[in-house]
Amino acid sequence: MNKWILRIEGGVVLAFVIYFYQEQQFSWLAFFIFLLIPDLAALGYIVHQKAGIVAYNMVHTYSIPAILLLVSIVSSHSLLMMICLIWIAHIGMDRLFGYRLKKFKREEKS
């Protein structure tokens, strides 16, 4: 049941972001070019599994882009607003497709 709630939440977030993105008349080309940029955080796995998990989770939580979105609204910074909306759209899209934050796996002792 929880999986479906997260998927519905992701779809709702994605729909709202697309609406507001369109209302701001931002570039759709930029939207599609930058939509998958947050997945580059997975490159942290090259360094170490834990580094990859931390990096991935940091860019796949709503907290950071939501705070930056608020800053962009208060400061009328349209480029930052566009970036945050794309970032939030990415997270919503991931949730819609069933992707969640990564968990640390327990290391087995021998």
Report the C-alpha gap between 23 and 81 in whole angstroms. Answer: 12
Confidence of residue 2 (pLDDT cuts 50, 70, 90): confident
Tens of pLDDT, residue by residue over 52-91, are: 999 999 999 999 999 999 999 999 999 999 999 999 999 9
Return the closest-CA partner of residue 69 out of 61, 56, 78, 60: 78
Tens of pLDDT, residue by residue over 36-47, are: 999 999 888 899
pTM of the shown model = 0.89
Query: Three-state secondary structure along 9-50?
Result: HHHHHHHHHHHHHHHCCCCHHHHHHHCCHHHHHHHHHHHCHH
pLDDT at 42: 87
**What is the overall mean pLDDT for the chain?**
93
Report the C-alpha gap between 91 and 37 in whole angstroms. Answer: 11
